[in-house]
A and B are shown apart, each in its own frame.
Chain A
Amino acid sequence: MLAVLLAVALAAPLLAPGDPLAIKGDPLVAPFVQAAHPLGTDRLGRDVLAALMHGARTTLLVAVSAAAAALGIGITVGTVAGFLGGWVDEALMRVAEAFQTVPAFLLTLALISVTGPRAATIVLGIAVGAWMQPARITRAEILSLRERDFVAAARVVGMRPLEIAFREVLPNALTPVVSLAAVIVAAAVLIEAALSFLGFGDPNLVTWGSMIAEGRTVLRRAPYLSIIPGIGLVLTVLAVHLTGRGVAAALRARRVLA
Chain B
Amino acid sequence: MARPLRLVGRRLVGVVPVFMLVVVGAFLLLEAAPGDAVDAYLGGIGGGDAAQMAALRAEWGLDRGPLPRLAAYVAALLRLDLGWSTAFARPVLAVVLERLPNTLLLMGLASGLALALGSALGVVCGARPGSVRDRVLSLAAIAIYAMPGFWLGLVLIVAFSVELRWLPSGGMETVASGLRGWDRAVDVGRHMVLPVFALGLVYMALYLRLMRDGMAELWAQDFVRAARARGMGGARLVLRHVARNALLPVVTMLGLQSAAMLGGSVVIESVFAIPGLGRLAAEAVARRDTPLLLGVVLLSAVVVMTVNLVIDLAYALLDPRVGSGTGG
Contact = CB atoms under 8 A, between A and B. Distances in A.
Tell me, yes or no, whether A binds B. yes
A226 B153 CA distance: 11
Given A94-B17, A106-B297, A114-B29, A219 B158 contact: yes
B155 interface: yes
A256 B101 CA distance: 52
A254 interface: no
Nearest to B20: A98
A60 to B, nearest CB: 15
B33 A114 contact: yes
Interface string B17-51: 11101100100010011100000000000000000
Interface in A180-219: 186, 190, 193-194, 197-200, 209, 212, 216, 219
Interface string A148-166: 0000000000000000000
A114 B300 contact: no
B158 A227 contact: yes
B148 A230 contact: yes
A15 B226 CA distance: 63
Task: Assign chain A's interface to a size class.
Answer: 35 or more
A142 interface: no
Interface in B131-188: 142-143, 146-151, 154-155, 157-158, 162
A127 to B, nearest CB: 15
Nearest to B151: A230
Contact of B300 (A106, A193, A235): A106
Nearest to A195: B267
Contacts of B143: 234, 238
B285 interface: yes
B243 interface: no
B305 A101 contact: yes
A129 to B, nearest CB: 9
A46 B293 CA distance: 35
A233 B146 CA distance: 8
A233 to B, nearest CB: 5
Contacts of A88: none
Contact of A212 (B18, B154, B305): B154
Contacts of A95: 21
Contact of A103 (B148, B262, B282, B285): B262
Interface of B, secondary structure class, is helix
Given A94-B21, A103-B260, A238 B282 contact: no
Contacts of B262: 103, 105-106
Interface residues of B, number: 46
B263 interface: yes
B264 interface: yes
Interface string B228-263: 000000000000000000000000000000011011
Nearest to A230: B151
A105 B301 contact: no
A106 B146 contact: no
Given A94-B21, A98-B21, A226-B151, A241 B29 contact: no
A95 B19 CA distance: 10
B266 A233 contact: no
Contact of B296 (A106, A198, A212): A106
A241 to B, nearest CB: 7
A227 B142 CA distance: 19
B259 A233 contact: no
A143 to B, nearest CB: 15
A113 B284 contact: yes
Nearest to A100: B259
A101 B147 contact: no
Contacts of B25: 98, 102
A112 interface: yes
Contacts of B290: 113-114
B304 interface: yes
A107 interface: yes
A110 interface: yes
A97 B21 CA distance: 9
Contacts of A112: 285
B265 to A, nearest CB: 9
A100 B307 CA distance: 13
A251 B219 CA distance: 27
B161 to A, nearest CB: 9
User: Can you list the 6 inter-chain pairs with the closest CB atoms, starting with the nearest?
Assistant: A105-B263, A230-B151, A98-B21, A103-B263, A237-B146, A103-B262
9 contacts: A102-B300, A103-B300, A106-B300, A109-B293, A110-B293, A114-B33, A194-B148, A197-B148, A219-B154
Given A106-B297, A212-B150, 17 more contacts: A98-B22, A101-B18, A102-B297, A109-B266, A109-B282, A110-B297, A193-B150, A197-B150, A198-B267, A223-B158, A227-B158, A230-B148, A234-B146, A235-B146, A237-B146, A238-B143, A238-B146
Interface of A: 94-95, 97-98, 100-107, 109-114, 186, 190, 193-194, 197-200, 209, 212, 216, 219-220, 223, 226-227, 230, 233-235, 237-238, 241
